[in-house]
Amino acid sequence: MTDDAPEQLQIGPYRVERLLALGGTSAVFRAHHALGGQAVAIKRLSLHRQDRLARTFRREVGAALQIRHPSALALLDAGWAPPTAPAGWAGHPWLATELATGSLADRVGTLPWEIVRGVLVDLLSVLAHAHARGLVHRDIKP
């Protein structure tokens, strides 16, 4: 466990386990639902831009709620960590989504063109779904 995810840290109904990724505006942690045991990803937004934080958080939640697509991760929950949460979490907004572990290439190695094409078609389908709702992702990664 890291300092950002101390032992027994619970945010909402989720037990935070470990840091998965760190970006400029957020950190993503692996967590489990405390009762149901479902593995999830918790995205904790950074507070270094407090003036725009609430607006950014509301926009992300609103956008995620509009996306219902078989190739997109579903938003499961969202909230704000209470002021009594451990340092690094107190007052931070968070989102819980389905957990996607590894990558297709990790599982099967080099991908043949037919599979790559199918993945790209799925990706474009999700982006078209989002764009039809006036949403732009702005952070697509390979």
Mean pLDDT by 10 residues, the chain (142 residues): 61 94 89 94 77 75 82 87 87 90 72 85 85 75 62
DSSP 8-state secondary structure symbol assigned to residue 79 = E
Domains and CATH numbers, the chain: 10-103 (3.30.200.20)
**13: its two tokens:** 């109904």
Distance CA 141, CA 40 (A): 20
The pLDDT value given to residue 1? 44
Distance CA 83, CA 87 (A): 9
The pLDDT value given to residue 3? 46
0.95 exceeded by pTM: no
The pLDDT value given to residue 5? 52
